[in-house]
Every structure is written in C-alpha cells, then in structure tokens.
A and B are shown apart, each in its own frame.
Chain A
Amino acid sequence: DTGVSQDPRHKITKRGQNVTFRCDPISEHNRLYWYRQTLGQGPEFLTYFQNEAQLEKSRLLSDRFSAERPKGSFSTLEIQRTEQGDSAMYLCASSLLGATNIQYFGAGTRLSVL
C-alpha cells in the first residue's frame, strides 16, 4: 500500500485547452473525494464517489468539469475549455467507509492556466 497517488503533480496549460488528472486511491478504499484549493484558502469539496457511483457534486463543479471512477478504483477529473480561474491545487482523498472514515490525501495536482 503506497498511499493515494495523483498524476501529474504539475500541469501548465493554455486557456481553452482540456486537461485530465488521475487519482489512484488506497486499494481497498471504497470512497474517493476530490477537493480544490486556491492560493491562501483551505480546500473546498468538489465531488465524491462510493465505489463507481458519483453521489454528490458541489456547485463549484461547473459543466466544464467531469469526474469518473469507472471500475471503482482510480478516478479521473477532466476540465474542458480551461479558464484562468481554474488555476488551483486539485486534491484527491480516499477512505474506507467504516468506523473512523479517515480520509487520506494525495500530494495533489497543481494546475496553472496561462
């Protein structure tokens, strides 16, 4: 068990391009969360999955954002037609629904939109 992995660690893109991030959770964890953190702020919830089902999406997740967890394992977060306001750190966390439900975080993907 190597913890939660996120790829890439850094992404620089031009405005209008599409980007996709990947998150590999801890292997037995059935819940997966995405958060976004802008400079100087705490992370904000975007969406979460239980197994392959996406159960909640924040209002922060505009139509340009889509997340999937096709086989209940890894997850992808895609941003279409990126805007400068999308520049942020995107954090993924996973947990095992149970007694403590502790979320373990990955190192994040830092997106810069030029």
Chain B
Amino acid sequence: KQEVTQIPAALSVPEGENLVLNCSFTDSAIYNLQWFRQDPGKGLTSLLLIQSSQREQTSGRLNASLDKSSGRSTLYIAASQPGDSATYLCAVQAPYYNQGGKLIFGQGTELSVKP
C-alpha cells in the first residue's frame, strides 16, 4: 500500500529565506508526483507536476525534484515571502492501468513566513 510522508509538519521562517519541503513515498510505481498549495479553508491549487520520467520541474521561485528510485521529492522555495504562507501538500498519482489514477496525499507541511 502506497504511503506518503511529509517532513516537517510545520515550518516557520523569516521572510527572504530559501527553504526545502520534503516528501517521501513507499512505492516507486507512480504515474506522477504533484505539489499543491492549500490556504486555510480553501481547495487545492496545483503548483508543480513531475511526470515519473522527469527529474524536476520549475515555476518561478519554486523548484520540485523527484527521485523515484529512492522514493523522495523536494519542493524548494527561493526567497520566501509572507504570501507563501499556506499548507503544502505532496501527492503521488497511482498508475491508471490498475489503480485508477487516484492521488495519495501526504499530511502536508504548514509553512509560515514571518515579515
């Protein structure tokens, strides 16, 4: 059974710092890995999606890497801003051919960026 773990559960940093969020998964048979942002009481916003054949994706100040063989992904946020404060969720997508492509989520990392 696929399990996804995110470390740390919470993180507080001063504005301007670079930071790394970690995600690990137990089964390397994934279709892709996705990072989401969730603001309190809101739905999910997709940040980056890495296909299983890719190693990394970048969008603005965000960079996500994937090491499928070791079951790890990192989300790097450069020059953090107070507006980055949110919960960040990592999700792996199960293969479509036998698991319907459902997403398996980690518990999230709650990020607080202090001005």
Contact = CB atoms under 8 A, between A and B. Distances in A.
B103 A43 contact: yes
B7 to A, nearest CB: 13
Contacts of B108: 40-42
A84 B93 CA distance: 30
A27 interface: no
Interface residues of A, number: 26
B42 A108 contact: yes
- Chain B at the A interface: mostly helix, strand, loop or mixed? strand
A106 interface: yes
Interface stretch (B11-19, B69-77, B94-102): B94-102
Given A42-B108, A101-B93, A56 B100 contact: yes
B81 interface: no
A102 B46 contact: yes
A67 to B, nearest CB: 14
A107 interface: yes
A105 B42 CA distance: 11
Contacts of B36: 105
Contact of A107 (B31, B43, B107): B43
Interface in A10-50: 31, 33, 35, 40-45, 48
29 contacts: A31-B101, A33-B103, A35-B103, A40-B107, A41-B108, A42-B6, A42-B106, A44-B105, A45-B103, A45-B104, A48-B100, A48-B101, A56-B99, A56-B100, A56-B102, A93-B103, A100-B32, A100-B51, A101-B31, A101-B96, A102-B34, A102-B46, A103-B93, A104-B46, A105-B45, A106-B43, A107-B43, A108-B43, A110-B41
Interface of B: 4, 6, 31-32, 34, 36, 41-46, 49, 51, 89, 91, 93, 96, 99-108
Interface of A: 31, 33, 35, 40-45, 48, 55-56, 91, 93, 95, 97, 100-108, 110
